[in-house]
Amino acid sequence: MHDLLRTLVSFGLVLGILVFIHEFGHYIAARWRGIKVDTFSIGFGPALYRWHDRTGTEWRISAIPLGGYVKPHGFEGPEDATEEQKQAWVPGQTFHDKPVGSRALVIVMGPVFNFLFAIVAFTVLFSTVGKMELKNDISQVAVGSAAEKAGIKVGDIITRIGTLNISTPEDVMEIISTHPGDQTTIDVKRNNQPISLPVTVGTTGVGSHAHGLLGVGFTAVPGHPVSVIKALPMGVVETWNMSVKTLQGVWQILSGQRSPKELGGTIRIAQLSGQVASYGFASVLSFMALLSINLGLINLFPIPVLDGGRLFFYAIEAIKGSPVSRRVQEVGMQIGMALIGALFLFSTFNDLTNIGLFHWLFHMGS
């Protein structure tokens, strides 16, 4: 019960903070461009607590903590608004009356704030505890492991697994973990000479709990705190590198190089939140930075419903000089909702499979 409570509390705090940062980006941009903000909600559904500030914005903490939203004044536009809504509009402060550049700025600042948070988080980490790094060369090979059977030796540097290029030890661990029992090849550099070795990935666990195991270790080099002046550019570079690696991972799944089973959803995020909470503040902050990067990138995908979809429509509007037709936007939103819904269901299915729910139900019914 203690672990479950820690997981729920950690998940609520982590997601709540990141959603607040994302929506605060929208809020700040709207206020900057002279747009009144009607509602700022953390979570969806009925409001558990609400209050109004002096500008008239209603701030809410809502019952379902799986996101949030900011509602700019007049966001719905004249075509969709009721007469009552139109009468309540404050001239000069409505979203739909602003130039396309201002509207696009309001939308893009949500993801931008996610990236800014990641930069700040990495800067704090590097200036307080330093950057822990793993050396690329293998420091140990477990006796009887898949690595030993394949002929991998201490000092080797893994450069490729199957068709996937390897740049860091984290790449090795991530790929091997998700391919238990696979027969593949591992390319290593030994004394500056390339060698290709056939390997059968080891397996730990059973059924849906199975994970790949290679049996190698890498040397961890402790980090040293640096000044904020040095940590800030390091934070920018780390945010960029993590963004690139995330996009590469998405492309590898879409192109079939990696299994779609690696996609995780809210349940996996909750699990990880609980786990990192037990490791200390530095681990929590690092996890939040990575999650914030993912949130920013996902929202920039050009899918209607997401921020990226709206930016795509605004780009077309800026080019052609007139808004995208209402019908096209409606169809786009319906397709976007279907895609996001399907992705949510699929990732949730993966999460439930990984925790063994379907395996347990199968044995309960047999």
Percent of the chain at pLDDT > 70 equals 82
pLDDT, position 99: 92
H-run or E-run covering 303? none
pLDDT, position 1: 42
DSSP 3-state assignment of 55?
Answer: coil
Residue 351 confidence (pLDDT) above 70:
no
pLDDT, position 357: 41
The string of pLDDT tens digits covering residues 94-145 is 898 899 999 999 999 999 999 999 999 999 999 988 887 777 788 888 888 8
pLDDT, position 13: 78
What CA–CA distances, in Å, run from 59 to 32, 93, 106, 301, 360? Answer: 18, 18, 18, 28, 42
pLDDT, position 85: 77
347 pLDDT tier (thresholds 50, 70, 90)? low
Write out the catalytic residue numbers: 23
Mean of the pLDDT values across residues 69-93?
81
Domains of the chain and CATH, by start: 2-33+98-127+289-365 (no CATH), 133-221 (2.30.42.10)
Mean of the pLDDT values across residues 54-58?
89
Q: Which residue has the higher pLDDT, 21 or 325?
A: 21
Phi/psi for 69 (5° steps) reads -165, 155
pLDDT, position 264: 63
d(CA 238, CA 226): 15
The token pair at 289 is 């930075």
The model carries a pTM of 0.74
H-run or E-run covering 334? helix 326-354
What CA–CA distances, in Å, run from 116 to 109, 294, 311? Answer: 10, 13, 19
CA angle, 170 as apex, 169 and 174 as ends, to 5°? 120
Place of tokens 């570079």: 237
Q: Which residues contact 133 (CB under 8 A, 6 or more apart)?
A: 220, 221, 223
When the pLDDT of each residue in the chain is averaged and rounded to a whole number, the result is 81
The string of pLDDT tens digits covering residues 259-318 is 666 666 665 665 555 565 566 777 788 888 988 998 899 899 988 888 999 999 999 989
Residue 76 confidence (pLDDT) above 90:
no
342 pLDDT tier (thresholds 50, 70, 90)? confident
CB 218 within 8 A of CB 128: no
d(CA 58, CA 229): 38
Residue 359 confidence (pLDDT) above 60:
no
The token pair at 8 is 């729920």
Q: Of 167, 158, 204, give the one whose Cα is nearest residue 185.
A: 158
The string of pLDDT tens digits covering residues 204-263 is 765 555 678 888 887 767 678 889 999 999 999 999 988 988 887 777 767 766 666 666
What is the per-residue burial (b if ≥16 Cβ within 10 Å, else e) of 148-163? Answer: eebebeeebebbbbee
- Coarse DSSP helix, strand, coil percentages of the chain, rounded to the nearest 5 percent: 55, 20, 25
pLDDT, position 364: 43
pLDDT, position 256: 67
Question: Strand 157-161 relative to strand 164-165: parallel, antiparallel, unpaired?
Answer: antiparallel
What CA–CA distances, in Å, run from 240 to 13, 21, 290? Answer: 25, 19, 11
Place of tokens 């795509």: 312
CB 146 within 8 A of CB 201: yes
What CA–CA distances, in Å, run from 152 to 142, 200, 212, 275? Answer: 10, 12, 16, 32
